[in-house]
Amino acid sequence: MARVAAIDCGTNSIRLLVADVTRHEDGTADLRDIYREMRVVRLGQGVDATGRLAAEAIERTRAALQEYGAMAVRKGVQSLRMVATSATRDAANREEFFSMVRDTIGVDAEVITGEEEAHLSFIGAVGDLDPADGPFVVTDVGGGSTEIVVGRWDGARAEIHGAFSADIGCVRLTERCLHSDPPSEVEARDAETLARSVLNPAFDSVDVTQSRTWVGVAGTMTTLSAVSQDLPVYDPHSIHLSRMSDRRVAEVTNDLLAMTHEQRAAIGSMHPGRVDVICGGALVVQVLAEEMRGRARVTDLVVSEHDILDGIALSIS
């Protein structure tokens, strides 16, 4: 057994998982959570427009990493891996970010490719699912990108059939299209059109037609599930492996688009850091649902609380 810490630094949030990983002779592994935490630091603030990481965004991330590093020490972590995704891939001043990470937690942030990001998301997402329900298509809607990966899972190893990282996510779509409060019909239409134009090449590249189960991961997906269930507070146990039909995805998306910022903020299960970007994320999921129904005849979305963070932890041991 090894105690590891995984840090996933995305465009919108930064998350920590401390876990014990036990490897078995048959190649399977058990991941036992010790501690999880998520903070919205909006590292990708303005990157789409300026091409640079904002100084205040780097500082917010530094403050979170400082506390994450201290937590890892307190929990007796033996190995730590930090993965940084879309925002840092796109930034002209990313070396400033790397230096800050190294000085703060003593390890280098790894900027992984979109394909590796998709692979780690797949491994984390399908671990609690019955291999007989595959092939699986896993979609990870982040702040700046959306990963789509198709593959099989035998309970120990993943066989990836195809993966694609599309440059669209909840922060990027919101900053480009959704400026009113609430978003206007024209803005919502433009955002949906943009999302579809970016995602179509992804589905042309990755064949989902044989997929039997669609799994959605990360904060946009889990928040939509919480809103769909009308949870009074965010409850990971109620969200993990919950299901939403494509019709329900459309209903929740339309409801959110009709709300003001204040109304969305009043939703008990809504994290404050997602209030202003959840409409953009929901529109991405709605387009994904339409594509899955049309291409694979899959109409249900399975929402998983386990994602790239779990994949990172499993990759360490």
pLDDT in tens, 264-302: 999 999 999 899 999 999 999 999 999 999 999 999 999
Q: What is the pTM of this model?
A: 0.83
- Fold: same for 2-111 and 128-308: yes
Any idea which residue has 């120990």 for tokens? 156
Are 212 and 298 within 8 A, CB to CB? yes
Domain boundaries, the chain: 2-111, 128-308
* pLDDT value for 317: 67
CA 90 to chain centre: 17
How do residues 13-35 score in pLDDT, each as one tens digit? 899 999 999 887 776 778 899 99
SS3 38: strand
CATH of segment(s) 2-111:
3.30.420.40
Q: Which residues contact 293 (CB under 8 A, 6 or more apart)?
A: 246, 299
**How high is the pLDDT of residue 91?**
86
- From residue 296, give the alpha-carbon distance in Å to each of 111, 182, 202, 203, 286: 32, 33, 14, 11, 15
Residue 132 DSSP one-character state: G
What dotted CATH number matches 128-308? 3.30.420.150
| Spatial distance between the Cα atoms of 1 and 17, rounded to a whole number of angstroms | 16
E strand spans, the chain: 2-9, 13-23, 29-40, 79-84, 109-111, 136-141, 146-153, 158-166, 213-217, 242-245, 300-304
Name which residue leads in pLDDT, 127 or 80: 80
| 185-210: pLDDT as tens digits | 999 999 999 999 999 999 999 999 99
Q: What's the rounded Cα separation, in Å, for the pair 170 and 219?
A: 10
